[in-house]
Chain A
Amino acid sequence: MYEHDVIVVGAGGAGLRAAIAAHEEGADVALVSKLHPVRSHTGAAEGGINAALRDGDDWTDHAYDTMKGSDYLGDAPAIETLCETSPEEVIQLEHWGMPFSREDDGRVSQRPFGGLSFPRTTYAGAETGHHLLHTMYEQVVKRGIKVYDEFYVMDLAVTDEADPENRECHGCVAYDIKNGEIVGFRANNGVVLATGGDGQAFDHTTNAVANTGDGPAMAYRAGVPVEDMEFVQFHPTTLPSTGVLISEGVRGEGGILYNAEGERFMFEYGYANNAGELASRDVVSRAELTEVNEGRGVEDEYVYLDMRHLGEERVLDRLENILHLAEDFEGVDGLVEPMPVKPGQHYHMGGIEVNEHGETCVSGLYAAGECACVSVHGSNRLGGNALPELIVFGAQAGYHAAGRDLGEALVETGPSAAIEHEDDLGAPVEPGALGPTDDDVAADGGERAADGGQLATPAETVERTVEQQRQRVERLKGRDGRNHAEIRDKLQKAMTRWVNVFREEEGLKKALEIIRECREEYQHVAVSDPSDTYNTDVIHTIETRNLIDVAETITLGALARDEFRGAHWRAEHQERKDDEWLKHTMVQWSDGSPELYYTDVILEGAEKAYEPKVRSY
């Protein structure tokens, strides 16, 4: 068993920042990740980092923009922490050598971004995430922080008290990808989950293949509620065959969207008579899919994004990267032909419920970054707000886990914060575990053994989890059964068909039924590669279980919330219902029988109260 003060799971932007913070605080910290740190998907972020750095701007304006963008579902204490801390974190990155784009006077450049009242998005070319990731990894190397790369964390070592708020996390268990060993990691002070997105729950996503929601799924099964899972951002311009993102910059420079009949549909069908192609992401995504659904899509699948009229010179000057992407990933020359695009899953606003210090309701368990929901993005994330979230809340979680006193948190966590329970969801099938499963840990995955864990020592809690996961892998490898890829494929297709940009009650119910079928089929899943060396079949099979849990919580939240807010659109409910829905949706595993409840949104900030207004731009 390995032992450290703080264990950080995942080594993207949030994980690296958390590790550096814990190290600054004097803790013995280790990063554990299924990828080498520089392979993390933070590296794919293009846009930038919002920070109020200049005269004429103020962090309170950034906070106001963020709250408005969230459609009043963000929590003020979290938003204020983000916006107040972002400037010092950005300067910190600059001091660590990040190659920001520069102004003539040598200072860091900032540009305008959607939904911002001031040009406050700092950036490093169109590869801001790549530079942020590498800069922070360099600092990890400089500090000699221990990295366990290509170790796949399979489960958390959490005690089994009845009330999750009494449970404690003592570490985690990982599969050493190089040799197939299953090893325990004991954390004396805390475990920080920083596992990133879960876009692989969908068929078409800008997320990496590794973004399988491992953190949310593990925390959820350990009893931590997941928050606002129905809020998923779909980006309107992704390449059809791979999901690779084509930046909003193309439309910003004057790119035009056409349907199969050559019509400029954003105007001709009245989706956005003023903003046209530059309407907000959710509006454009819905317009594209409407075109396809009404038979005006190309090959019944996508629309065209045309930038030929901009001329070769302008394209090469400002959008060169886009030409490479279209050529390399779609085989299309953007100067000669229009580029095929369609909406793709891009970012998950929802995630593991945490307070503004990154703490979950389970003592010793933290989460930060996209896997967490703190909540700063509410129902819709603004461009340029994901990267500051990583560094601000990564640092908060790292400091707190290492013992720094950050004062009292204002955001409440855990089931005791419930204001109301959902008793009448009308789900067509029971969600959650499939009932007693004859101690089949292979199918159950993360079930905590009920043998009086509160009496066990922390080391015993970790050991017990190691043993369970060992049995799980032996079982998966020792039997014959189905290949996980088939189940994952079915799940992804169902999510993209029914829980996508458009959501209808019947469709969401249909999705829950299919997710249930996936769960049943997963009971018979098996790993056919018997090798102990670099067995990706084992990893992918376990990931698929995590995706099933995550997909189910997204769909449950989407069915419950019968209103239209931010990225969540319901066919039968076309308005934002502040009287009824100014609240967070929580799903709690509840030892296999998921419960849905609601908590208050905090609109009272330290500086001012935020009054819900119509979100118009």
Chain B
Amino acid sequence: MSTQVTEQEQTEDPAEDQSEHQQRRLAEKAERREARDRMRERAETDLEKADTVFDLKVFRYDPDIPEKEKPRFDTFPVPFTKGMTVLDALMYARDHYDSSLTFRHSCRQAVCGSDALFVNGTQHLGCKTQIVDLGDEDDARVPGTVRVEPLPHQEVVKDLVVDMEHFYDQMNAVEPFFDPDDLPAPDEEQRQARENREKIKMSTRCIWCGACMSSCNIAAGDNEYLGPAAINKAYRFAMDEREGEGKKQERLEIIEQEHGVWRCQTQFSCTEVCPKDIPLTEHIQELKREAVKNNLKFW
């Protein structure tokens, strides 16, 4: 489990008195050792007290550090507590064993979309995935091992952090902003039917986590494919009655391009992994139908 890298030599300050410098270094080292021991002790006490302990197996990689240049897995024993999520377990491992363990996270409640991860072979949001739900399906039990990897099909930056730039580029490619043909006076709202708001409701729930894109075989093979999240974003505006027909026409042209909706082979993998339960495949299918209708109109 050792993930400690070799101690970095500090650059020598020639002006500083050598013995004093060394003494300070030794004191620092001793302090660090004590602190590390205390962290371990805390973990050991937790482990002894815990009814259940499981192994958190985490993918590690850092291009900057010789020991981590070659990807590997580290295993951390984690004491299970009721309600523990995959994110809780990662934070426990980081704060008790290795502060260099790196992953994105912020809200802890499935709205910021930072912590989409590959857990036991499937895309999950770390914060909303209960450890017990990863065990035996018939019997909510803590599994012996939980394996956490970065999202597949995205470049790994470090440990569980992937490069999201490509995902953001695809989102930006569909003109992802409201653009109505005309607007009422500045003190007057646009009207929108309840049914229309209901129609776009699920599509507006996207939190940009990237789980769908990572699960999609087509996106894996075609780097230019817009992908489920971006097409869903286009759907959100194309179906919004406040925008008007002119803009809808433009939107359909965007999603109909070579790497647009027609690439989707309706495998439903995106829909299965979406943590916000957005019917992504259905939205893509509906846009295909809209596009066909639209083309017939001009034919």
Identify the A interface with B (CB < 8 A): 35-36, 38-41, 43-44, 87-88, 91-92, 94-97, 99-108, 125, 127, 129-131, 134-135, 138-139, 141-142, 178, 208-210, 239-245, 325, 327-332, 477-483, 485-486, 489, 524, 526-537, 540
CB atoms of B130 and A331 under 8 A apart: yes
Whether A486 lies near B39 (C-beta < 8 A) is yes
A102 vs B191: C-alpha distance in the bound complex, in angstroms? 8
B106 within 8 A of A: yes
* Nearest CB of B to A579, in Å: 43
Contacts of A104 in B (CB 8 A): 194
Q: With A43-B111, A485-B99 given, is the CB distance from A329 to B83 under 8 Å?
A: yes
Give min CB distance, A358 to chain B, whole Å: 22
When C-beta atoms are compared, the residue in chain B nearest to A87 turns out to be B187
Q: Write the nearest CB–CB distance from B224 to chain A, whole angstroms.
A: 20
Tell me which of A134, A138, A208, A534 contacts B157 (CB under 8 A). Answer: A534
| Closest residue of B by beta carbon distance from A101 | B197
16 contacts between A and B (CB under 8 A): A44-B107, A91-B186, A91-B189, A94-B189, A96-B177, A127-B205, A138-B177, A242-B85, A243-B108, A328-B110, A329-B85, A485-B39, A486-B35, A531-B100, A533-B64, A533-B158
Asked if B112 and A35 sit within 8 Å, CB to CB, the answer is yes
Known: A99-B204, A105-B191, A478-B11. A241 touches B177 (CB 8 A): no
B82 at the A interface (CB under 8 A): yes
Query: Using Cβ atoms and an 8 Å threshold, which residues of chain A touch B81?
Result: 241
A331, B197: Cβ atoms closer than 8 Å: no
> Taking the nearest CB of chain B, how far is it from the CB of A12, in angstroms?
11
Q: Is the CB of A142 within 8 A of B179?
A: yes
B10 lies within 8 A of chain A by Cβ: yes
CA of A139 to CA of B4, assembled, Å: 45
**Chain A neighbourhood of B177, CB < 8 A:** 96-97, 138-139, 141-142
Check B113 for interface membership: any CB of A closer than 8 A. Answer: yes
Q: A43-B112, A97-B178, A241-B82 are in contact. Are A486 and B100 (CB under 8 A)?
A: no
A130, B202: Cα distance in complex, Å? 13
CA distance A99 to B205 in the complex (A): 10
Residue B109 at the A interface, CB < 8 A?
Answer: yes
Cβ–Cβ contact A41 & B112, under 8 A? yes
List B residues at the A interface (Cβ < 8 Å): 4-5, 7-8, 10-11, 25, 28-29, 31-32, 35-36, 38-39, 62-65, 81-85, 88, 94-95, 99-100, 102, 104-114, 127-130, 132, 157-159, 161, 164, 168, 172, 176-180, 183, 186-194, 197, 200-201, 204-205, 207-208, 237, 240, 242-243
User: CA A524 – CA B36 in complex, angstroms?
Assistant: 13
Known A-B contacts A104-B194, A537-B99; A481 and B31 likewise in contact (beta carbons under 8 Å): yes
Instruction: Please name the 8 residue pairs, one residue from A and one from B, whose CB atoms are nearest each other, closest first.
Output: A97-B178, A106-B191, A529-B100, A480-B32, A138-B177, A142-B177, A241-B83, A480-B28
| A124 closest partner in B (C-beta) | B204
Question: Within the complex, which residue of B62, B114, B191, B204 is in contact with A134, where a contact is CB–CB below 8 Å?
Answer: B204
* A46 CB, min distance to chain B CBs, angstroms: 10
CB pair A97–B112 under 8 Å, yes or no, is: no
User: Which chain A residue shows the least CB distance to B94?
Assistant: A485
B191 A529 Cβ-Cβ under 8 A: no
Chain B binding surface SS class:
loop
Instruction: Tell whether A39 pairs with B128 under 8 Å between CB atoms, given A329-B85, A530-B5, A537-B99.
Output: no
Q: Is the pair A526, B32 in contact by a Cβ cutoff of 8 Å?
A: yes
What is the CA–CA distance of A594 and B190 in the complex, to the nearest angstrom? 51
Please tell me if the beta carbons of B82 and A331 are within 8 angstroms of each other in the complex. Answer: yes
A-B contact count (CB 8 A): 209
| Shortest Cβ distance from B32 into A: residue | A480
Residues of A within 8 A of B32 (CB): 480-482, 526, 528
Q: With contacts A106-B192, A486-B38, A531-B65 known, is A480 near B29, CB below 8 A?
A: yes
Residues of B within 8 A of A540 (CB): 99
Asked whether B113 lies within 8 Å of A39 as measured between CB atoms, the reply is yes
- Contact yes or no, B176 A141, CB < 8 A: yes
A210 adjacent to B201 (CB under 8 Å): no
Q: Are A39 and B106 in contact (CB under 8 A)?
A: yes
Contact B39 A99 (CB under 8 A): no
Asked if residues A244 and B172 are in contact (CB atoms below 8 Å), the reply is no
Q: Given A35-B112, A209-B105, are A241 and B84 neighbors across the interface (CB < 8 Å)? A: yes
Least Cβ distance of A321 to chain B in Å?
11
Which chain A positions have C-beta within 8 A of B197? 99-102
State how many angstroms separate the Cβ of A388 from the closest Cβ of chain B: 16
Report B-chain residues with C-beta under 8 Å of the C-beta of A91: 186-189
Find the A residue at minimum CB distance from B7. A480
Q: Which residues of A contact B112 (CB under 8 A)?
A: 35, 38-41, 43-44, 208
Closest to B237 in A: A97
Q: Is the CB of B35 within 8 A of A481?
A: yes
B208 interface neighbour in A38, A332, A530, Cβ under 8 Å:
A38
Q: Are A208 and B39 in contact (CB under 8 A)?
A: no
Closest partner residue, chain B, to A129 (CB atom): B111
Residues of B within 8 Å of A100, CB to CB, are 192, 197
Nearest-Cβ distance from residue A606 to partner chain B, whole angstroms: 21
Contact A530 B8 (CB under 8 A): yes
Give the one of B39, B172, B243 with max A CB within 10 A.
Answer: B39
Give the residues in chain A near B36, CB-CB below 8 Å.
Answer: 483
Q: How far is the CA of A532 from the CA of B231 in the complex (A)?
A: 35
Residues of A within 8 A of B65 (CB): 530-531
Given contacts A129-B111, A241-B83, 19 further A-B contacts (CB under 8 A): A94-B190, A99-B240, A102-B192, A103-B194, A106-B192, A131-B204, A134-B204, A141-B172, A208-B112, A241-B82, A245-B109, A329-B85, A477-B8, A478-B11, A479-B10, A480-B28, A481-B28, A533-B63, A533-B158
Residue of B nearest to A340 (CB): B83
Interchain CB contact under 8 A, A537 and B29: no
In the bound complex, CA of A78 to CA of B200 (Å): 36
Cα distance, A106 to B191, chains bound together (Å) = 5
Q: Determine the chain A residues whose CB is within 8 A of the CB of B4 once the complex forms.
A: 528
Could you tell me if A208 and B172 are in contact, using CB atoms closer than 8 angstroms?
Answer: no
